[in-house]
Structure 1
Amino acid sequence: MTTDTATGGPGPANETVRGEREPILLELVDESGTTTGTAEKLSVHQAPGRLHRAFSVFLLDERGRLLLQRRALTKYHSPGLWSNTCCGHPLPGEPPFAAAARRTGEELGMAPELMRAAGTVRYHHTDPVSGLVEREYNHLFAGVVRAEPRPDPEEVAETAFVDPAALERLRGEAEFSVWFPTVLDAVRPALRELAGSADW
């Protein structure tokens, strides 16, 4: 197992966990999802990108509506864009499920219910604005939420609950993260099962 702590490039190369001074390290993985080492967060997302572990959370309310978030304008990656309920990266050694639950609480001030694994998906996308690369082995989670979100403004600019029709309208009017279409398509079977509806 190797460790790469190179930061590279200008800007928030030394982005840190709140209250900490050390750079955030992410897990590098191979094509089967086996951990191969760690590398600093921003360097992993710089071209050509390095395959690393990530997670995406999709939560439905009791009416079967999906909770979306619009990323804070101060985010270094995809600021101001709409995306799924929560997404991020486990810390090295942190189980993806635990990371997904932790970050949902930190970003949205809420705890998901009945959250379960909904498969994995690999993708390689480049953000057209920043040039940052998303080359991820993404663990998908779907669940239910019964509380109103209380978003951290440093993480989330806005939230919305949308049914499938409202989501399609919003996708025609607003910009979404480059990874959103891929993870949404991959998680649709789990959303249909949770909602008890084929609409998703």
Structure 2
Amino acid sequence: MEEFVVLVNAEDEVLGLMEKQQAHINGLLHRAFSVFLFNSKGEMLLQKRAPGKYHSPKQWTNAVCSHPRENETYLEAAKRRLKEELGIETELSEKFNFIYKADVGGGLWEHELDHVFVGNYEADFNLNQEEVEEVRFISMEDLDKEMKEAPENFTEWFKIILEEYKYHF
């Protein structure tokens, strides 16, 4: 199934739709969301992207990142992707949004108006192996250390979004 992203301007006004990979080739601004999940110890959930992903395979990133569909709210999309990728449901609250552009390699760009959601989760996962290879919780201290020692193991957008998250908290 062909997937489309919602193209927007900086004020989040819809400009149209474009096939997802084409939008990433052209580097056009589109709607996106990112979900950060934490356990009761304050550790962040990371997912390792599946080997078959068309960009950034086998790299670690936050719990879920994706794009709302046409006529879908950011929150609806975030909850849909939690279920589709991790097989879970949990409450989410939107914390902030911002625009970023990241070169993800292979001539592809993430240029997104990203709405960032935060939630808590501490039960079992039912991973969609086409999307997610594995998940793990990590302390912020250990995450910072790993990202400094081996930045190539993490998605480019996660590095940007994590810094923005720290700025807001």
Bin of the TM-score, shorter chain as denominator length: over 0.9
Q: Deviations over 1:18-48 (max 9, x none)?
A: xxxxx2111000011111111111100004x
Could you say what secondary structure the match of 2:153 adopts? coil
| Percentage of matched positions with identical amino acids | 37
Instruction: Give the paired residue count.
Output: 167
**Residue 36 of structure 2: aligned partner:** 58
Amino acid in structure 2 at the alignment position of 1:100: A
Larger RCO of the pair (alpha carbons < 8 Å, separation 6+): 2
Is residue 117 of structure 1 aligned with residue 105 of structure 2?
A: no
* Residue correspondence of structure 1 range 140-155 to structure 2 within 5 A: 140-155=116-131
Partner Cα distance (2:142, 2:55) in 1: 25
1:89 shift after superposition: 0.3
Q: Deviations over 1:48-101 (max 9, x none)?
A: x11000000000011111000010000012111110010000011100101001
Structure 1: 5+ residue runs without aligned partners?
1-15, 17-22, 193-200
**Residue 161 of structure 1: aligned partner:** 137
1:125 shift after superposition: 1.1
Structure 2: 5+ residue runs without aligned partners?
none
* Residue correspondence of structure 1 range 2-41 to structure 2 within 5 A: 16=1, 23-41=2-20
Could you say what secondary structure the match of 1:127 adopts? strand
- In structure 2, relative to structure 1, the CA distance for the partners of 1:94 and 1:133 (3 Å cut) is same
- The structure carrying a bigger helix percent of its residues is 2
Amino acid in structure 2 at the alignment position of 1:80: K
Partner Cα distance (1:189, 1:110) in 2: 28
**Residue 49 of structure 2: aligned partner:** 71
Could you say what secondary structure the match of 1:55 adopts? strand
- Return the index of the structure with the highest Cα Rg: 1
1:170 shift after superposition: 2.5
1:189 shift after superposition: 5.9
- The structure carrying a bigger strand percent of its residues is 2
* Residue correspondence of structure 1 range 117-196 to structure 2 within 5 A: 117-128=94-105, 130-171=106-147, 172-173=149-150, 175-188=153-166, 192=169
Is residue 44 of structure 1 aligned with residue 23 of structure 2?
A: yes
Could you say what secondary structure the match of 1:78 adopts? coil
Report the RMSD for the aligned CA atoms in angstroms: 1.4
State the TM-score, normalizing by the size of structure 2: 0.93
